[in-house]
């Protein structure tokens, strides 16, 4: 039983605690996080690094009246434990359990459902503007990481904040790490603040001086302010933020509870935008995550005593296949370059980065920039592969249209985690990319059925001078997914019939090919002989094949691991309509028009009937009016 945490059902209970006991509470929170996340997996290192911040903020501010926002929200486990989710914490990231990110449907302490980076400053200034229009006086506070702060959206918000100068508190949680090392000029700047003792000495002297200001007369006050400005411009850390209109405080130790409580109380007395620069250690308090913070950024379940993953042995995945192939392409062709938006490890580009350090560009959490930058690399004579999660590319929709497709540039988009991602849930499912890619003129949209086909598609893309996207799911091996199977030669815009049948044709896309073959076996035991087609391309669609098939089959099924609206099934339906193909019944299977919650990837695939028996049952019932036996 947790002596301190056990008593906290809401921040009200926290506020009753003696300040001297808060570090003990922080210890119990850390223990609880390690205990639970070792079982469930999750964003361990970021959350451990933000424990004192969460405790101190809830101790000093008054939520839910005061508004507290966590950028991305992957670091907010302590916040969850302090705001009424102590008992449900064990269910985190599991189907039916609490979310791994802030979720507005879960708690009044979570203002927004988040998961994508760098939205918090815009949200905060919006809340502050609404507050001022309403005439109320609650505080609005934000915790944002050093990597998230370097994103364009955060800069846009800072620009606006400095302009309208509302009262908000921004706490910069600086651990010098993104998932791996934070990249970029802002990160160098933050480092220079932390390591330069002269800056810090002069800064503290200047602050001492400012503290005394109220005792002076008005003229002295003006003079002192001028002096402060003068010193600041020359030497004070955080001048960058000050020039943007923030009052900068720090750097402070983000693990000193007393220091944080003291500083938060102090800065709350100031008007206007405040930035408190807190220095933290990612993974703090658990030996293994301190040693390997990148590995424990988002970890699978692990053994607490050894820090070793308890997941089954690693098998090949689409990501590992991509990783191998991009290295091989890079070895053969000096014009191949690769671009990542802060996801070198997750996308498998880390190997390419090691081998070809001059041809890798990690641009930080900057998806829009990554796309336009890649377009210009193509214009400059190179062949860029941008490896990115389907969900994060959503950010760069306009750049894909204008800067890549309108210019007809040969950028290759390798969309990892396309489909249901599992435990990261709603904000991370990659289920919209078929819809948002296929309607852009000139974009090729491909999806491999197995690992070999992914390699083939990458080869095809490397030799194409057109915008080319390839989508593939998280992992592999589920229901036979990914396992290599015999294939016909890969040709742009051509599908392949992989099983002949006579009653119905299943047009399956990418991850759904292997399950469809298994569904066809089940159907055949029920008297339905299904043909299965590996569609390979959503665009260009194999119109010739679809036309031929429509002469043989009157029942069509399309299946995709993405939202049905605007997806592959829609593409086939549009074609049938456009070509005036008559008497064809089409059943489009895929994901419904809703945000899909967190849970195990396999559980979610089952829940949405994308399993062999799920697919077979729907086809048998809806197209043949019979129950599967």
Ligand X SMILES: Cc1ncc(C[n+]2csc(CCOP(=O)(O)OP(=O)(O)O)c2C)c(N)n1
Nearer to ligand X, 110 or 450 (CB): 110
Please report whether residue 399 would count as binding ligand X according to CB under 6 A: no
553 scored as a contact of ligand X (CB under 6 A): no
Catalytic-residue membership of 328: no
Stretch that binds ligand X, among 113-121, 256-264, 300-308, 574-582 (CB under 6 A): 113-121
Q: Catalytic: 367? A: yes
**Identity of the residue, 101 or 479, whose beta carbon is nearer to ligand X in the bound complex:** 101
Active site residue 395: yes
**Taking the complex as a whole, how short is the minimal distance between the CB of residue 64 and ligand X, in angstroms?**
23
**Separation CA 246–CA 254 (nearest Å):** 19
Query: Helix, strand or coil for residue 196?
Result: coil
Q: Does 286 bind ligand X (CB under 6 A)?
A: no
Q: How far is the CB of 201 from ligand X (least distance, A)?
A: 27
CB-based closest residue to ligand X? 145
Minimum gap (Å) between residue 383 Cβ and ligand X: 24
- Token pair recorded at residue 489: 């030669």
In whole angstroms, what is the distance from residue 283 CA to residue 75 CA? 10
Interface residue with ligand X, options 40, 173, 187, 372 (CB under 6 A)? 173
Note whether 80 binds ligand X by CB under 6 A.
Answer: no
Direct distance between the N- and C-terminal alpha carbons of the chain, in angstroms, rounded to an integer: 50
Of the candidate spans 175-183, 377-385, 551-559, 566-574, the one that interacts with ligand X by CB under 6 A turns out to be 175-183
Please identify which of the residues 281, 282, 284, 417 carries the catalytic annotation.
282
User: Near ligand X by CB under 6 A, which window of 122-130, 171-179, 197-205, 242-250?
Assistant: 171-179
Beta carbon of residue 273, minimum distance to ligand X (angstroms, whole number): 19
Q: Please, which residue, 182 or 372, has the CB nearer to ligand X?
A: 182
**Which listed range, 142-150, 263-271, 354-362, 460-468, lies at the site for ligand X (CB under 6 A)?**
142-150
- Residue 75 touches ligand X, criterion: CB under 6 A: yes
Cα–Cα distance between 191 and 84 in angstroms, integer?
36
DSSP symbols for 264-317: HHHHTTS-SEEEEEEE--TTTTSHHHHH-TTTTTSB--B-TTT--B-SPPP---
Catalytic-labelled residue, pool 242, 367, 423, 496: 367
**Structural tokens at position 58:** 């809830």
Using the rule CB under 6 A, is 46 a contact of ligand X?
yes
When binding is defined by CB under 6 A, the residue of 48, 68, 257, 365 that contacts ligand X is 365
Q: Are strands 537-539 and 444-446 parallel, antiparallel or unpaired?
A: antiparallel
Dihedral sign from CA coordinates of 348, 353, 356, 362: positive
Q: Mark 324-353 with x for binding to ligand X (rule: CB under 6 A) and - for no binding.
A: -----------------xx-----------
Nearer to ligand X, 46 or 299 (CB): 46
To ligand X, the closest distance from the beta carbon of 49 in angstroms equals 6
CA–CA separation, 471 vs 491, rounded Å? 17
Residue located via tokens 């083939």: 456
Determine, following the binding rule CB under 6 A, whether residue 180 of this chain makes contact with ligand X.
Answer: no
Which of 255, 395, 539, 555: binder of ligand X (CB under 6 A)? 395
The reply to whether 145 sits near ligand X by the rule CB under 6 A is: yes
Longest dimension (CA), the chain: 95
Alpha carbon distance 93, 96 (integer Å): 8
Binder to ligand X among 177, 481, 586, 619 (CB under 6 A)?
A: 177
Q: How many Å apart are CA 499 and CA 376, to the nearest integer?
A: 43
Is position 119 an interface residue for ligand X (rule: CB under 6 A)? no
Of 10-18, 146-154, 247-255, 605-613, the segment contacting ligand X by CB under 6 A is: 146-154
Cis peptide before 251 (omega within 30 of 0): yes
Dist. CA 424–CA 102, nearest whole Å:
11
Of 245, 277, 15, 268, residue with least CA distance to 138: 268
Nearest residue (CB) to ligand X, 83 versus 390: 390
Among residues 72, 239, 426, 617, the one that binds ligand X under rule CB under 6 A: 72
Give one word for 243, left, alpha or beta, with left for phi > 0 and alpha for psi -120 to 50. Answer: alpha
Stretch that binds ligand X, among 109-117, 158-166, 460-468, 609-617 (CB under 6 A): 109-117
Q: Could you tell me if residue 195 is left (phi over 0), alpha (psi between -120 and 50 degrees) or otherwise beta?
A: alpha
State in angstroms the smallest separation of the CB of 552 from ligand X. Answer: 45
Both tokens of 351, joined, read 């190997």
Of 106 and 146, nearer to ligand X (C-beta) is 146
Report d(CA 181, CA 188) in Å as an integer: 11
CA distances 422 to 71, 95, 418, 622, Å, are 21, 9, 11, 28
CA angle 15, 256, 194 (to 5 degrees): 135
Number of residues that bind ligand X (CB under 6 A): 25
Figure out which of the listed residues 148, 327, 421, 519 binds ligand X, where binding follows CB under 6 A.
Answer: 148
- DSSP letter string over 116-161? STT-HHHHHHHHHHHHHHHT----EEEEEEHHHHTSHHHHHHHHHH
Query: By CB under 6 A, which span of 9-17, 114-122, 378-386, 611-619 interacts with ligand X?
Result: 114-122
Give yes or no for residue 116 binding ligand X (CB under 6 A): yes
Separation between Cα atoms, residue 99 and residue 74, nearest integer Å: 10
CB 216 within 8 A of CB 228: no
Closer CB to ligand X, residue 172 or residue 532?
A: 172
User: What's the burial of 480, exposed, middle or buried (CB within 10 Å: 0-12/13-18/19+)?
Assistant: middle
Selected from 99, 103, 117, 317, the binder of ligand X by CB under 6 A is: 117
Cβ-based nearer residue to ligand X, 38 or 182: 182
> Does 392 contact ligand X by CB under 6 A?
yes
Active site residues: 282, 367, 395
Query: Which residues contribute to the site for ligand X (CB under 6 A)?
Result: 46, 49, 72, 74-75, 115-117, 145-148, 173, 175, 177-179, 182, 282, 341-342, 365, 367, 392, 395
């Amino acid at each position: 039983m947790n002596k301190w945490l056990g008593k906290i059902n809401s921040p009200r209970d926290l506020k009753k605690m003696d300040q001297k006991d808060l570090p003990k509470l922080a210890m119990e929170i850390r223990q609880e996080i390690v205990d639970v996340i070792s079982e469930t997996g999750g964003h361990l290192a970021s959350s451990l690094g933000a424990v004192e911040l969460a405790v101190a903020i809830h101790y000093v501010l008054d939520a839910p009246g005061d508004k507290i926002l966590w950028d991305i929200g992957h670091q907010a486990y302590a916040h969850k434990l302090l705001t009424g989710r102590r008992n449900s914490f064990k269910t985190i990231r599991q189907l039916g359990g609490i979310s791994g990110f802030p979720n507005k449907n879960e708690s009044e302490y979570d203002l927004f459902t988040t998961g994508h980076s760098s939205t918090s400053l815009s949200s905060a200034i919006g809340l502050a503007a609404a507050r001022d229009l309403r005439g109320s006086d609650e505080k609005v506070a934000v915790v944002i990481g050093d990597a998230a702060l370097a994103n364009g959206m955060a800069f846009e918000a800072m620009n606006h904040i400095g302009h309208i100068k509302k009262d908000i508190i921004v706490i910069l949680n600086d651990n010098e790490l993104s998932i791996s090392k934070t990249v970029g000029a802002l990160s160098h700047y933050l480092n220079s603040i932390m390591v330069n003792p002269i800056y810090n000495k002069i800064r503290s002297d200047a602050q001492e001086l400012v503290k005394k200001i109220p005792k002076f007369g008005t003229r002295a006050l003006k003079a002192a302010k001028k002096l402060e400005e003068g010193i600041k411009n020359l030497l004070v850390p955080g001048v960058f933020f000050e020039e943007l209109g923030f009052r900068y405080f720090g750097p402070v130790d983000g693990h000193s509870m007393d220091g944080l409580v003291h500083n938060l109380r102090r800065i709350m007395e100031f008007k206007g935008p405040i930035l408190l620069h807190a220095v933290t250690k990612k993974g703090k308090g658990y030996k293994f995550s301190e040693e390997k913070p990148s590995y424990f950024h988002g970890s699978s379940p692990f053994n607490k005593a050894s820090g070793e993953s308890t997941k089954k042995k690693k098998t090949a995945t689409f990501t590992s296949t991509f990783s191998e192939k991009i290295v091989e392409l890079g070895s053969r062709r000096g014009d191949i370059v690769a671009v990542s938006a802060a996801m070198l490890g997750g996308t498998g580009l880390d190997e390419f980065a090691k081998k070809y350090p001059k041809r890798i560009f990690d641009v930080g959490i900057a998806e829009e920039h990554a796309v336009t930058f890649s377009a210009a690399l193509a214009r400059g004579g190179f062949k860029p592969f941008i490896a990115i999660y389907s969900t994060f590319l959503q950010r760069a929709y306009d750049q894909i249209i204008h800067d890549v497709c309108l210019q007809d540039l040969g950028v290759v988009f390798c969309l990892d985690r396309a489909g249901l991602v599992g435990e990261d849930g709603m904000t991370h499912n990659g289920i919209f990319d078929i819809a948002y890619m296929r309607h852009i003129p000139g974009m090729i949209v491909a999806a491999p059925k197995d690992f070999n086909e992914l390699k083939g598609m990458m080869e095809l893309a490397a030799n194409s001078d057109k915008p080319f996207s390839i989508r593939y799911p998280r992992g592999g091996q589920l229901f036979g997914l990914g396992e290599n199977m015999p294939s016909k030669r890969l040709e742009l815009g051509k599908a392949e019939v992989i099983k002949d049948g006579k009653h119905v044709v299943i047009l399956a896309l990418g991850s759904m090919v292997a399950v469809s073959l298994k569904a066809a076996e089940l159907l055949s035991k029920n008297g339905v002989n299904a043909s299965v087609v590996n569609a390979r391309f959503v665009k260009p669609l194999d119109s010739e094949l679809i036309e031929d098939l429509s002469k043989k089959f009157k029942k069509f099924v399309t299946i995709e691991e993405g939202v049905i609206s605007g997806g592959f099934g829609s593409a086939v339906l549009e074609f049938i309509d456009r070509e005036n193909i008559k008497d064809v019944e089409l059943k489009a299977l895929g994901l419904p028009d809703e945000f899909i919650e967190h849970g195990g990837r396999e559980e979610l695939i089952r829940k949405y009937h994308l399993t062999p028996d799920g697919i077979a049952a729907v086809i048998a019932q809806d197209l043949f009016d019979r129950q599967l036996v």
